[in-house]
Amino acid sequence: MPELPEVETTARLIEPGLLGRTIRGVQVDWLRSLGGMSRGKFEGAVVGAKVSRVWRRAKYVVIDLQRRGKPAGVLLVHLRMTGRLVVKGKWVEVPAYCRVGLQLDRGNLFFLDVRKFGRFSFHPESESALQHLGPEPLSDEFTQEVFFEALHGRRRAIKPLLLDQGFLAGLGNIYVDESLFRARIHPLELARHVSRVKAARLFEQIQTVLREAIVREGSSFDAFYRTPEGQPGSYQHLFQAYGRTGKPCTRCDRAIRRIVVGQRGTHFCPRCQVLSKKSR
């Protein structure tokens, strides 16, 4: 499922086909993808606008729009489970599972989404729509010290906390499991009981996992995530925990266990990731 590395890859790969393009028309095949806006309002907001920038914040692809050189709102695209963005050239038949399409002065942008959880929504400006999000894990403002202090005040288990986009932006189920595995921290360890040493390890592993996954253009292991060019990512070959239930731990050979934490499948090594007594 698309998390920070997959969304980063998507934003990077669609940008060349969108930059400077003007939106000529819209096609909406699933109204709820617009996140509550009517078809007519959406059309009025975007038709005639020009794309000035494509970037990523948390798990959102952000498409900045302009009119006559001035900011004219943003499109926020959240891929959720099965969303994809694809830029196609001149003539196309509409791809399967297309929920929203933008006809451009050159080419088309399609939002495809099998399960319809994703969103393709217009906002007058990005700040208020993105203000609920925590720090970017690869930004300068996110430091070891900031991370340790933030963990210190929380009584929640570490995994649900890392999945909370208001605490830290961009991580999802896969990269949380991988980061906790590499840092040797049990997913149910209470955040306040994560020592300074372990917090430093987790900080490093979160950044390492994300950077490596970006280089590999994300993870593809089922029929869903593909880059906008249709290629699978390759980080799934480096999974050590996620989806490896029953397989040997790469460090100690013990079988990887699967439990459910906050309704999410959670994978860890019961020997390497031990729950401290305080957190039991």
Which residues between 187 and 226 bind DNA (CB under 7 A)?
223
* Closest among 99, 80, 74 to 18, alpha carbons compared: 74
66/117 with CB nearer DNA: 117
Distance, CA of 201 to CA of 2 (rounded, Å): 24
Distance, CA of 15 to CA of 63 (rounded, Å): 9
Tokens 């920038």 locate to 53
Active site residue 2: yes
User: Does residue 80 touch DNA according to CB under 7 A?
Assistant: yes
Stretch that binds DNA, among 135-143, 172-180, 203-211, 249-257 (CB under 7 A): 172-180
104/235 with CB nearer DNA: 235
Active site residue 59: yes
CA atoms within 13 A on the CB side of 112: 17
Q: For residue 242, count CB atoms less than 10 angstroms from its CB and return exposed for 0-12, middle for 13-18, buried for 19 or more.
A: buried
Which residues between 139 and 168 bind DNA (CB under 7 A)?
154-157, 160, 163, 165
Stretch that binds DNA, among 21-29, 63-71, 111-119, 204-212 (CB under 7 A): 111-119
* Closest among 10, 54, 35, 44 to 119, alpha carbons compared: 35
Which residues share a beta bridge with 264? 261
User: Does residue 116 touch DNA according to CB under 7 A?
Assistant: yes
Which residues are tagged catalytic?
2-3, 59, 264
What residues line the site for DNA (CB under 7 A)?
1, 32, 58-59, 78, 80-81, 114-117, 132, 154-157, 160, 163, 165, 172-174, 223, 262-265
